[in-house]
Amino acid sequence: MAMNTHGLTDDQKDIRALAARFADEVVAPQAMQWDREHRFPKEVVQQLGELGLMGVCIPQALGGAGADYLTYVLVIEELSRGDAGLGVTLAVHTGAGTLPVIARGTRQQIERIVPPLAQGHELAAFALTESNAGSDASALATRSDNGNLTGTKQWVTNGSVAHSFIVFAKDPDRPSAFVVRRGAHGFKPVRETDKLGLNSSSTADLQFDETPAERLGLPGAGLRIALATLDGGRIGIAAQATGIAQAALDLAVKHAKERRTFGKPIGAHQAIQQKLADMQTEIEAARALTWRAARLKDADRPHTVEGAQAKLFASAVARRVTGEAIQVLGGYGYTRELPAERYYRDAKVTEIYEGTSEIQRLVIARALLGEAARE
């Protein structure tokens, strides 16, 4: 675990330490096997629920731990250090699948849907992407006919294992948000995606055929709900990327102390020292950007640009640092005997999902340039 505790409260430190211990003792020892078997670790997700980590930032009155968003981000980073697939399972469950219900749902919806999610008895998912609608969320083909959904969704994290799905559909002309429950008529996961990394997480395509759904929020507010959800979700993915990078650095440092060449540890060679110094500095910068964005969200202040900056920077750091870790480990890094190659594969998607790096740059540039960026 990274030792930086600057500005954290005692409660934040305690929950971070709990997540770190769980990552070290339970998650990391099994992560390589989950990756090889492409297995979703259902029993470990249940343990996270028992520890209160499936609803870290959900109010206690709704069954959660009642902590703030920064604390939740700390948990995402630590769990991702153990296994990034588990990190994204939690990030999508909480940030994309549960918080929008609290933000936009009726009191009755919130009281019915949220507690089992916050306690980890159920899992949540967020279904926005389609084959022709990703970064362009307004191009949805899935349609609502009086609350009955017909269409398909692609690459849905937790898609094969979730109980509650937030689904976006044209209604009739503008996107609206809906909640669909597992087992609803005409609804089924149709394909589990074979991925480069994150093999312990479920990524599925979904099919809807006149599936009854309940509206979440106002008619036509789907795009606003999706964008607001992604604003916060990007902070979680930045934390995931930071955790992956930290795991890679920890492995590289351990190897640099133990591996000897020309009569001394490779860590005594300046070329290795330079790499490790750059890796740690970039990770600390990524962590600082991520914490800043989380604190702005906690203060209910605008965080669209800051979340985009955190995700843009942290995801690039994760890709670079995991590549450098393999370089430090040399031939060992290229084998599946050590987790460096898994970190490398897991890191790449952080530059793609919840908004590509190119989209993050657009968000940042438009805030800088205003109307001039749109002409």
Measured CA distances, 244 to 84, 237, 239, 348, 357 (Å)? 7, 11, 9, 10, 17
Cβ contacts of 37 within 8 Å, gap of 6 or more: 199
Active site residue 341: no
SS3 208: strand
Instruction: Write the burial class of residue 232 (CB in 10 Å: 0-12 exposed, 13-18 middle, 19+ buried).
Output: buried
Q: Please report the DSSP string for 114-175 in residue order.
A: HHHHHTTSS-EEEE--BTTBSS-GGG---EEETTEEEEEEEEEETTTT-SEEEEEEESSSSE
- Spell 124-156 as b/e; 16+ CB within 10 A means b: bbbbbbbeebbeebeebebebeeebbbbbbbbb
Q: How many residues does the chain have?
A: 375
Cβ contacts of 334 within 8 Å, gap of 6 or more: 326, 341
Catalytic option among 210, 354, 371, 375: 354
* Residues involved in catalysis: 354
